Chain A
Amino acid sequence: MSGGLEMANLSAGYLGRDVLHELSLSVPAEGLTAIIGPNGHGKTTLLRAISGLVPRCSGAITLDGRPLQGLRPDARVAAGVVHVPQGDMVFAEMTVLDNLLMGAYLPAAARSAKERLEEVFALLPKLAERRGQIASTLSGGERRMLGIGRGLMADGRVILLDEPSLGLAPIVIEQIYALIAQLKNSGRTLLVVEENAARVVELAEAIHLLDDGRFVWSGAGAELMARPEILETYFGG
């Protein structure tokens, strides 16, 4: 098996009902892979299955050839899975600094937390300015940056981003995507989920369209742009 994140025959869901049906997906060790699709069709569940948060899950998931299925969420983090969850799941009543330090909670990451913190502050100077501020008092865009910065602190192998542009103003979405482009160019492995294809298409090497728990189309960004009927069918134009 090659490097990167691989899924084979992955089914997953909640309380006796599968949301994902026998998916197979290969996320190459370098670059950005995007999963797009309408809301409520399993995008978030897919990321949660990778990080071990769904109660029902069958099939195989491997990271660099090492199986992840059956591992607890904390063991998957230790294996290199970084999941930046949807919305602002920052620790609301903690300072920005404490949030970032939580990102480097595991012993391996904690040892190099200082250097990593400098990297994150260099990448996101806003967070350095606000390091002593309570997270709940940040703006929506700052919280999103904090969520991503916290994920970077783990120094993982693959970063899962769940709807990084959700609920943000256009100008802030620009900033977030500039950051994502920077992460990609620095050689990180990214798996990005978006409902809105517009921004992620430019950055992604591969795009997978998820509908009703199955991949219905896969290809490169330019191919998707050349097929307006696909966008029209799934996103209403």
Chain B
Amino acid sequence: MTLDILTQIIASGLTLGAMYAVSTVGLSLVWGSLGMLNLAHGGLMAFGGYSAYYAMGALGLPLPAGLLAAILMGGLLGALTYHGAVRFMLRQKAFETNVVIATVGLAFVLENAVLKLFGAQAQRQPLQVEGAIQVGNVVVPLQNILILATALLLMLLVALLLKKSRIGRAVRATAMNREAAQLMGVRVGQIYALVLMLAGALAAVSGVMISSLTGLSPGMGADPMLKAFIICVVAGLGNVYGAVSAALALGLIEALAQFVLGVRFGFATLLLIVIVVLIWRPNGLFGRQQVTRL
């Protein structure tokens, strides 16, 4: 009985954590590279979720195409964020504040575009796998396992990209010292655009994951974005590996809190933990000093 409860908590905690990790890594990369808080992240999640919905529902495409549609849409919106707004603000002194306002604007545009295109009523995400497996006496839906596996695969790919590839090395170098990276021949604008595209694609995938459990609605990204921010802050802004660990840990804690204290205390517990962590370690658990963008 107790073992079953523990299995249940771990299963749902890992699923939550995996979804959080995918969306948090994008936010964290963008902060680490550009020093930019992207408040359109939630809008990107919703757009990703609806892209899969449209590709599979209206166009009748198979599951992988639904996921691909979300990834492409997220990447496209990330590129638009850079070329439509961010690049014009990079040299401004008040970049941090200006760009936050720009992303708030983008968030409104995205949410209203979803409203206009798909309406306000909630929809079911067609990107689902049926069935479940039995772990002890606990039934774990295959959907949860798919989410966990996709998340792990994506995290592995992002880690390989950052660690092993030439372009990933340039992303890290630019985050560490923008000017030195330029002196190596790195075209910083290209790197920023790439980071925003990657973050957009990850947000879109996490939007598909979240909506497959909770359904689609135009404002569906608001809560997950807030949680992604919380995880970023707990991990230390800009720390990608820390963000993944913190996401999994907080997913497990939320699942535990939901079981022990009841569903509506899950989020409240997360916020309490953030406060404690930030009093104890003002730069987050794995935090380092501020990024220097210019």
In the complex, what residues of B have CB within 8 A of residue A90's CB?
180
- How many angstroms between the C-alpha atoms of A110 and B170 in the bound complex? 13
Question: A34-89: which residues lie under 8 A (CB-CB) from chain B?
Answer: 51-53, 72-74, 77-78, 83, 85, 89
- Of chain A, the residue at the smallest CB distance from B172 is A94
Contact A73 B182 (CB under 8 A): yes
Is there a chain B Cβ closer than 8 Å to A211's Cβ?
no
- Of chain B, the residue at the smallest CB distance from A103 is B184
Nearest Cβ distance between residue B289 and chain A, in whole angstroms?
A: 10
| Interface residue range, chain B | 10 to 19
Nearest Cβ distance between residue A156 and chain B, in whole angstroms?
A: 10
Contact B179 A74 (CB under 8 A): no
In the complex, what residues of A have CB within 8 A of residue B183's CB?
51, 53, 73, 77, 83, 85, 89
Nearest Cβ distance between residue B89 and chain A, in whole angstroms?
A: 16
In the complex, what residues of A have CB within 8 A of residue B182's CB?
52-53, 73-74
Nearest Cβ distance between residue A138 and chain B, in whole angstroms?
A: 15
- How many angstroms between the C-alpha atoms of A90 and B170 in the bound complex? 13
Is there a chain B Cβ closer than 8 Å to A212's Cβ?
no
Given A91-B176, A91-B177, A93-B176, A98-B185 contact (CB < 8 Å): no
Nearest Cβ distance between residue B235 and chain A, in whole angstroms?
A: 16
- How many angstroms between the C-alpha atoms of A233 and B168 in the bound complex? 50
Interface string of A155-195 (1 = CB under 8 A from B): 00000000000000000000000000000000000000000
From A77, A92, A101, B176 is in contact (CB under 8 Å) with: A92
Question: A87-145: which residues lie under 8 A (CB-CB) from chain B?
Answer: 89-94, 98, 101-103, 105-106, 109-110
Contact B169 A98 (CB under 8 A): yes
- Of chain B, the residue at the smallest CB distance from A113 is B166
- How many angstroms between the C-alpha atoms of A103 and B177 in the bound complex? 13
Contact A106 B180 (CB under 8 A): no
In the complex, what residues of A have CB within 8 A of residue B184's CB?
77, 102-103, 105-106, 150, 154
From A72, A74, A85, B180 is in contact (CB under 8 Å) with: A85
Question: B161-182: which residues lie under 8 A (CB-CB) from chain A?
Answer: 166, 169-170, 172-173, 176-177, 179-182
Given A85-B179, A90-B180, A91-B176, A102-B187 contact (CB < 8 Å): no
What are 22 of the A-B contact pairs (CB < 8 Å)? A52-B182, A53-B183, A72-B187, A73-B182, A73-B183, A74-B186, A85-B180, A89-B177, A89-B183, A91-B173, A91-B177, A93-B172, A98-B169, A101-B169, A102-B169, A102-B173, A103-B184, A105-B185, A105-B186, A106-B184, A109-B185, A154-B184
Pairs A-B, 8 closest by C-beta atoms: A77-B185, A106-B185, A89-B180, A73-B182, A74-B187, A105-B184, A74-B185, A91-B176
